[in-house]
Structure 1
Amino acid sequence: MAEEVAVDYSLNNPDTLTKYKVAAQISQKALEFVAGLCIEGAKIADTCERGDKFLEEEISKVYKGKKIPKGISHPTTVSPSSYVTPYTPLKTDAEEAAVALKAGEVIKIQLGAQIDGLGAIVCDSIIIPAGKNDGDKIPGRQADLLLATHWANELLLRLMVPPGLVASGTDEEKAKSQAAKPYSQSKITQLLEKVAKSYDCNIVESTTCWLFEHNEIEGKKKIILSPGDGVKGEGLPEVGDVWGVEVGVSLGSGKVKTLSNRPTLHRRTVTKYGLSRPSSRATLNEIVKKFGTFPFSLRQLEDERAAKVGVVECVRGNVLRQYEVVGDKDNESVARLFTTVAITKNGLTRLCAPPSPDLEQYKTDKKITDEEILKILEQPLGKNTGSKSKNKKKKKKTAKKAENEEEGESSEEE
């Protein structure tokens, strides 16, 4: 019997990037769908449930008939204004199931799909419209918060591009750029905090960006923004990496606290533990079959009530990681953005990302004035690559015609 050939899940394999992009397209579509559900009075539990159903339907449409695992890489979560972490309440918890969205609050929507263990996750922050005033300009502190989060995210993406990768100009300028040292994690935090403070906001402490790998959304490398005591990041982005890039900004101090809500978001670990309860073993078996090592909500399990009991021993034995519900220490509004990116030889590509905001909608007198930051924000994320003419060898073409076609094609973006 022939041995199975190991699949190359690095970006060296074109199929890897294709699968990431398919997952990303689904995530992007689902984000738009869920955002449309988020209106005043909508129940968060219902919205999350409908978001997951939409994800499952879209995932079922791709790679039909192929033995490729696929599913949800992050369940739909909708976090109220002061919540920092993804929030997905259960319908069997009556009080939390009744939580509805309020007009004017900033909410965070996060979700994701995965194809063949390659996950694409996205998060956006939006303001719940009040009646028919959703076309009005966003005033004051809400505008400050969303602008600070947007520009902090744009800056962070550029700080993650390896030195010299998208350099342009003379050979001397390119060489100088390539010789530069990558931004350290402390420098990254320092620059992002300057952006936040330009709008009288603060970066949420210990916001973490992770390296993505096959069946893994918390890889060996991580960037921790505004790290708390005894916490530090490890490693920096390189060509060939896929990252989940997160930015969190608060109208308060940026400090966080654990809330009293039931943790409903979990993820399987690599820890081996002999579970004694049949209910625990049954729950774990369902989790392994449905979600692998990706995060899931207890509401996604067949019997929500049984799941609440079954996960207790799994968490105690570290078979499952439990995500605590964390909020802003000052109960102030928090905005978050999450982008899945790939770093290739041509620069950084946003695989799935929150939609670009209409900056004309934000009414504030605050702005970024730091010259170093403004200069970085002007830099491109990727090279302006163009395809050269493939018809040079056709003898019937005149040299002039071929030259004109090459010029036209090379000016197009990839």
Structure 2
Amino acid sequence: MVRAQPVLKAGDLVKIDLGCHIDGYIAVAAHTIVVSESADAPPTVDAETGNVAVAAYNALLVASAAIRAGATNKEVTAAVERVATHYGVSAIATVRMHQMKRYVIDGVKEIALKTPTPDDITAGEEDLAECTFEQAEVYAIDVAMTTGDGRVRPGELRTTVYKRNVEAQYRLKMKSSRYVLSEVDKKFPTLPFSLTHFDDERQAKMGITECVAHGLLMPYPTLHERSDAKVAHFKSTVLLLPSGTSRVTGIDLPDYFTTDKTPDADTAAVLETIALAAAKKAKKKAAKKKKNKGKGGLAKP
């Protein structure tokens, strides 16, 4: 029996998370929006939702600025924690930022959103080893914040997104399972995929269970906070260039997300630097556009 999917309604908080690659070179992005009554009317957003969205977005900007050659993952974690604490929200503990390489979306170097407590470690959470960023690296800046406790739980909805575990090997019994693994090895050997990508989706759904049971494929589970919590999620891709760190994906925070809280002094200084750089870049772009427009209007000799 196919479960009916919920229909979006005005006021719903929606997270959009996507990625693409060209010849194995990956770019990712994620954004949070609120559903409005119509395309012409801005949505109504409560104070709690506005605050957590502003906190998550500011943490994204601060983390992007903190990831630079010579800095460490611990420094980025501290910056994100500072934002979360000041805005009175919690980082989602299971969300990690990752280095990305060609055909590798989850690289070895990772950045946590929060430092695990002794109780967290006892419960199974990993305390990441310190690593240092280097020039020419690429990172997915992934930030999710919540008004809840930050401990997400598996949801009831079945995931359709998986990734090949290249280190696992097993001789599958079912024909449908062998079909799934064969298609994955041919088309999605290292990057995530959805069951909807298969020509025979019905057979893929039948064969996926055995592949997961023996560790050949890893699911991306649907995770939930407590029912009354508000979660905001933003993601960007950054490049560590000789000229500095460049954020190459992601869009601006919607104007309808607001809060009466102001950032701490350190965060405010970083945000001001980012805003000034963005304004300078926009001014330069506008001047260039005006200059090119003027050239186009000249009569040819």
> Normalised by the size of structure 2, how large is the TM-score?
0.81
Distance in 2 between the 1:322 and 1:98 partners?
A: 20
Q: C-alpha distance in 1, partners of 2:265/2:139?
A: 28
Match of 1:367 in 2: 262
For 2:19, the equivalent position in structure 1 comes to 112
* Structure 2 Cα separation of the partners of residues 191 and 350 of structure 1: 17
1:8-407 to structure 2, matched below 5 A, reads: 94-95=2-3, 97-131=4-38, 134-135=41-42, 138-163=45-70, 182-185=71-74, 187-226=75-114, 227=116, 228-229=120-121, 230-234=125-129, 235-270=131-166, 271-329=168-226, 331-353=228-250, 355-359=251-255, 361-368=256-263, 370-380=264-274
What is the deviation of 1:100? 1.6
Q: Which secondary structure does the structure 1 equivalent of 2:179 belong to?
A: helix
Percent identity among equivalent residues?
28
**Deviation, structure 1 residue 345:** 0.9
Seen in structure 2, the aligned counterparts of structure 1 residues 269 and 333 have a Cα distance that, compared at 3 Å, is same
Report how far residue 358 of structure 1 moved.
Answer: 4.6
* 1:317 positional shift: 1.7
Q: Is contact 2:36-2:43 (8 Å) kept?
A: no
Structure 1: distance between partners of 2:228 and 2:197: 29
Deviations 1:217-248 (A, max 9, x none): 01111112124424133423211101111000
Q: What letter matches 1:211 in structure 2?
A: Q
2-side partners of 1:196 and 1:130: how far apart?
30
- Kindly name which structure, 1 or 2, has the bigger radius of gyration based on alpha carbons: 1
Aligned residues: 271
Q: Is the 8 A contact 2:54 2:258 kept in 1?
A: no
Greater RCO structure (CA 8 Å; 6+ sep): 2
Counterpart AA for 2:133? P
Distance 1:376 1:264, change over 3 A: same
CA distance in 2, matches of 1:217, 1:276: 30
- RMSD of aligned Cα (Å): 2.6
Distance change in 2, residues 1:276/1:153 (3 Å): same
**Quick one: distance in 2 between partners of 1:203 and 1:289?**
37
Match for 1:254: what amino acid?
A: G
CA contact (8 A) 1:250 1:335 kept: yes
Structure 1 251/137 Cα, relative in aligned 2: closer, same or farther at 3 Å?
Answer: same
Question: Shift of residue 215 of structure 1?
Answer: 1.0
The one-character-per-residue Cα deviations of 1:119-159 (angstroms, maximum 9, x if unpaired) are 11111111111346733674411211211111011111111
* C-alpha distance 184-141 of structure 1, shift in aligned 2 (>3 A): same
| Residues 189, 288 of structure 1: alpha-carbon distance in 2 compared, 3 angstrom cutoff | same
Relative to 1, partners in 2 of residues 1:331 and 1:263: Cα closer, same or farther, differing over 3 Å? farther
Q: Structure 1 residue runs of 4+, over 6 Å off? A: none
Report if the CA contact (8 A) 1:137-1:362 is conserved: no
Report the equivalent of 1:22.
none
CA contact (8 A) 1:221 1:233 kept: no
Q: Deviations over 1:287-317 (max 9, x none)?
A: 2222221111112212222112111111122
On the 8 A contact 1:242/1:343 being kept in 2, the answer is yes
Q: Secondary structure at the match of 1:352?
A: coil
2-structure distance, mates of 1:116, 1:331: 42
Q: In the aligned structure 1, how far is the partner of 2:257 from the partner of 2:15?
A: 18
Residue 21 of structure 2 aligns with an amino acid whose one-letter code is Q
Displacement after TM superposition at 1:276 (Å) = 2.1
- Is residue 242–residue 342 contact of structure 1 (8 Å, CA) maintained in 2? yes
Look up the equivalent residue of 1:245 and give its one-letter code. Answer: I
Q: Which runs of 5+ in 1 are unaligned?
A: 1-92, 164-181, 385-407, 410-414
3-state SS of 2:112 partner = strand
Contact 1:342 1:350 in 2 (8 A): yes
Q: Which residue of 1 aligns with 2:282?
A: none
Q: 1:341 is matched by which residue type in structure 2?
A: V
For 1:149 and 1:106, the matched residues in 2 are separated by: 14
| TM-score, normalisation: structure 1 | 0.60
Per-residue CA distance 1:33-80 (angstroms, 9 max, x = gap): xxxxxxxxxxxxxxxxxxxxxxxxxxxxxxxxxxxxxxxxxxxxxxxx
Give the drift of 1:286.
1.4
Instruction: Give how far 1:116 is off.
Output: 0.8
Amino acid at match of 2:148: G
